[in-house]
Amino acid sequence: MTIHENIDYVRQTLGNSTDIVFREFSYGAVTEPVAIVYTDGLVDGNVVNDFIMRSLMSDQLDPDPGLSPFELLELHTLTIGEVQQVYDMKKLLHHLLSGDSVILMNGYDCGIAASTKGWKDRGVTETNVETVVRGPREAFSESIRTNTALIRRKIKDPNLWVETFQVGKVTQTDVVLMYVNGIAAKSLIAEARNRLNQIQIDGIFESSNIEELIQDEVITPFPTVYNSERPDVVALELIQGKIAILVDGTPFVLIAPALFETFLKASEDYYHRVDISTLIRVLRYAGFLIALLAPSFYVAITTFHQEMLPTQLLISLAAQREGIPFPAFIEALLMEITFEVLREAALRMPRSIGSALSFVGTLVIGQAAVDAGIVSAAMVIVVSITAISSFVFPSYDLSNAIRILRFPLMALAASFGFFGILAGLLGLILHLNSLQSFGVPYLSPFAPMELHKQTDALFRMPFQSIFSRVRTVSANNVVKKAKRTRFKP
């Protein structure tokens, strides 16, 4: 095909799109015509002008009898770092729509794709989701190359390997698989590759689409793939033997395998002193139990087990509930639904008025409901403590799981009291034991019990006491840190 036939094919395939730029010119002292094609808005105009156009239109180079014009262009003329020969029109279009500039020459059945990506992105900013008191403030952006660079700044080991996939028949989204070779188990890496290659879907727009397609279990409220927008969190998980999946266009990076205890840890745990980090981590586990069981316990005690309360407290609750037209279950259900509506409204409204709405709405509605005799003051306290406890988790996904489970547990408590709660908890524990994340038991290292890993599970021991990774996650290179040796005088 001639250069004009190639250009006509690109024009027709892209529907004569007006953002595709075609530029034809003569190449220096060579008589063969040359064309450059790129997508306006996806390329850096300065790179195209200074390192491609200026080089190609220069008359400084004479034809070399030992090289063809195409080889002369690729080896001696282009002053740009990354170039690649393209022989297939499908790959040519992929490079073109990914921000590369494609150079075509008459009489040759291949082109040159030069890396000229330069679209506008948000840059490296501070995260608004995973906030910390002490620790790095940088967060991922929507550019996948920026995100891989942020991780490489944390891990400078040459064994940090990167593999790129194109997922989505229509969107052809770039998806990157990162892992530390020699630490991550080969079976885990092979499983991740297999799941990514098996994805058959038209479009990928966010990492949550990949998460849903590669997770082990779909019908479960608990997340089995972790996500974070902090480079230090991802780097820490990579050196633990896990894999990271980055998706172009989103700042949230997926981490697998994801265990239950992962969602109750924060990177800040390793930036504070041992005693403070341990206290905070224990508070998170306590907050998990409160957020899950507080409304159910209140319903069960006030409905079936009043004898468990001290007499004075029982009299006080009875006085508060005097005149309340609903049973405790309906009362708790109304308050929980009201709070969930207020929380969603605060999230969806503009930031300038969202916080004011959540504060005023909760305060005014709660007080008005008590004054109107619809709910008791004790129920408002229970729901408030439950709501506050649900915000202590570093992972928002775990909070969503608790929001879902809270309602069936309240129904069991209203029907059978503590026996219903016990049955619900047994079913929940059985369900958690049945879950896996990329073949790893979800409750590791608690079930199966790994005594050597308890130094960084419920409690955070000093660094010199943390010797090895989770064996069920990383089969290779189990020893993570040698024992500290003291200098001798």
- For the chain, the structural domain boundaries read 3-114, 144-258, 270-441
**Starting at the edge strand that comes first in sequence, how are the strands of the sheet with 111-114 ordered?**
20-27, 30-39, 101-105, 111-114, 83-86
Question: For 329-350, how does the pLDDT look when each residue is reduced to its tens digit (9 = 90+)?
Answer: 998 898 888 888 878 877 777 6
Predicted confidence band of residue 285 (pLDDT cuts 50, 70, 90): very high
pLDDT at 472 (0 to 100): 55
pLDDT at 45: 82
Enumerate residues 6+ apart whose C-beta is below 8 A from 168.
199, 201, 202, 203, 204
CB 380, CB 366: distance < 8 Å: yes
Instruction: Give the pLDDT confidence of 186-207 residue by residue, as tens digits.
Output: 999 999 999 999 999 998 999 9
pLDDT value at residue 292: 93
Q: What is the pLDDT of residues 409-455, one digit of tens each?
A: 999 999 999 999 999 999 999 999 999 999 889 998 888 887 767 77
pLDDT of 371-397, one tens digit each? 777 888 888 888 889 988 888 888 888
> Both tokens of residue 380?
């408002």
Cβ pair 148, 178 in contact under 8 A: yes
- The model carries a pTM of 0.82
Say yes or no to pLDDT of 137 above 70: yes
Per cent of the chain over pLDDT 70 is 88
Identify the pLDDT of residue 489: 40
Sign of CA dihedral 160, 163, 168, 172: positive
Mean pLDDT for the stretch of residues 454-478: 64
164 and 175 Cβ atoms separated by less than 8 Å? yes
- pLDDT band at residue 483 under the 50/70/90 scheme: very low
Q: Please give the pLDDT value at position 482.
A: 42
Confidence band of 317 (pLDDT split at 50, 70, 90): confident
| CB neighbourhood size of 358 (10 A) | 17
